[in-house]
Chains A and B, each alone.
Chain A
Amino acid sequence: MAENEKMTIIVFSGEMDRVLAAFNLAIGGATAGMDVTMFFTFWGLNVLKKNEGSIKSKGIMRKMLNMMNRGGAKRLPLSKFHMMGMGKWMMQKLMKDINFPPVEELMATAKEFGVKFVACTTTIGMMGLSKSDFIPEVDSFAGVATYMAIAKESKVNLFI
C-alpha cells in the first residue's frame, strides 16, 4: 500500500478557540486518510498539560509563570471576549447548543484517528516543565529537526 499523505499543524496558541480550529483541521486531515502530526509549542503546550495536580518548577520566575500559565485542556481561555471566564462560559454554552464537542473530546477524536501529538522540548526547558506534567497522549518530545523532517514531506502545513 502506498504511504499516506501527510499533514502537520504547529499549535503555538493556547486559547480555546484557536485550539478548537487546530483540532478540527487535524481531524479533517485524519478522517481524509492523512497522517497528521500536531506540534505543540510555547502557549500551545498548555493544551497537553494535565488538568489535575500542580506543576512544580524551580526558581521564582518559573514558579510565577507556571502559576499564571497553569494550562490543561479544560483551562484554555478565549482569544477574544474571555472576560475572566464569563465569555468562555458563554461560548461553551453556545457550543453545547449545537452539539459541538469541547477541546478534550476533539483531542480524543483526533487520537482515535491516529493524530500524533509532539511536545516541544525547548519550551518545556524554558518554562521549567517536566514530562510528568503532560498527559500520556503525548507521542513524543522533540524539536525543530523532527518537525522539519515531517513538514517537508507534508502536503499541508499549518501554524495556529
Chain B
Amino acid sequence: MKADETLDCVGLYCPMPIVHTARKMKELKSGQVLEILSDDEGIKEDMPNWCKTTGNECVKIDQDKGIYRVFVKKSG
C-alpha cells in the first residue's frame, strides 16, 4: 500500500502517536493516506478507535518485527 506521507512514531507512547497523527491529518487532503510507524502495541487498538471517533478510515495495520505500520485514509 502506498502512502502519501509517513510518520515515524517509533519509541513514542500514548497519547503521542495520536497527537502526531491528528496534527498531520490536518495538513492532508481528503483521500490521502498517512502511514504511521509505531512500536507501541496499543496502537493497533488506539488507531482504529481514533479513526472511528474522527470519521477517518483505518485502512490496514501491518506488523513486522515489533513495528506496526498503520495506514489511515483521510475522509472528506
Q: Which residues of A contact B (CB under 8 A)?
A: 24, 27-28, 31-33, 98-101, 109, 112-113
Q: Is B67 at the interface (CB under 8 A from chain A)?
A: no
Give CA–CA (A35, B19) in the complex, Å: 15
Across chains A and B, the number of contacting residue pairs, with CB separation under 8 Å, is: 33
Bound-state CA distance A113–B50 (Å) is 15
A32 contacts B13, C-beta separation under 8 Å: no
A32 and B50 within 8 A (CB): yes
B13 interface neighbour in A99, A112, A113, Cβ under 8 Å = A99
When A27-B19, A109-B19, A113-B22 are in contact, do A32 and B11 touch as well, CB less than 8 Å?
no
> Binary interface profile of B, 53-69, with partner A (CB < 8 Å = 1, else 0)?
11000000000000000
9 CB < 8 A contacts A-B: A24-B15, A31-B19, A31-B21, A31-B22, A32-B54, A98-B11, A98-B12, A100-B16, A101-B16
What DSSP secondary structure best describes chain B's contact surface?
A: helix
Q: For the complex formed, measure the closest distance between the CB of A123 and the CB atoms of chain B, giving whole angstroms.
A: 28
* Residue of B whose beta carbon sits closest to that of A29: B53
CA of A113 to CA of B26 in the docked complex: distance in angstroms? 11
Complex Cα gap A98–B19 (Å): 16
